[in-house]
Amino acid sequence: MLEGTFSDEHGHYTAGTYLRNPVGSSHTPFSEGGCTILVKLQQMHPADQQRLVVDTINAAWVPGLVPGLQVLPLHAWGSDHVALVRWAPGTVFQPHGHPGGEEILVLAGVFQDDQGSYPAGSWLRNPPGSGHRPWSEAGCTIWVKTGHLPATLGPDGSEA
């Protein structure tokens, strides 16, 4: 939940809540005061049936792979990994690749890599096999999902 309060028959979820409903589930969503949410439908493997609610405001973050990064793992299943990552100002990460692709939503601040500079609200989708060297001069917080994109698709839509 990015802003406001989102609700369904299971509860009320305020800004900062990570809510994940499995493929095939149903609910009756509503918002009395309005809200802004990130919705990704059919993004999970059908066998991954865990419903998840995480209060990211009060959750414990852990140190990242380099000084200046803090990570809040949200979910992992198979090669899929979802997390929030806080970048302190001036943090630089080593060049790396994404064999299963990567998607990023910049939640706050400015995220940068060798392809550009991305302010809050930016959406990045790096295809399988891509790589980059990310950093943040000003600091930022991102939502990131890796390892979930299919290999390159052929003209008929099947994996090449």
What residues does each domain of the chain span?
Answer: 3-55, 62-146
SS3 35: strand
For position 151, what pLDDT does the model report?
67
Distances (CA, A) of 75 to 14, 30, 138: 19, 24, 27
- Within 13 A of 89's CA, how many CA atoms are on the CB side? 1
pLDDT in tens, 84-110: 999 999 999 999 888 888 999 999 999
pTM of the model: 0.86
For position 157, what pLDDT does the model report?
47
CB 102 within 8 A of CB 70: no
For position 152, what pLDDT does the model report?
56
Percent of the chain exceeding pLDDT 90 equals 60
CATH architecture of the region 62-146: Sandwich (2.60)
Counting as low any pLDDT under 50, the low residues of the chain are: 156-158, 160
Q: Closest by alpha carbon to 50, among 28, 83, 30, 25?
A: 25
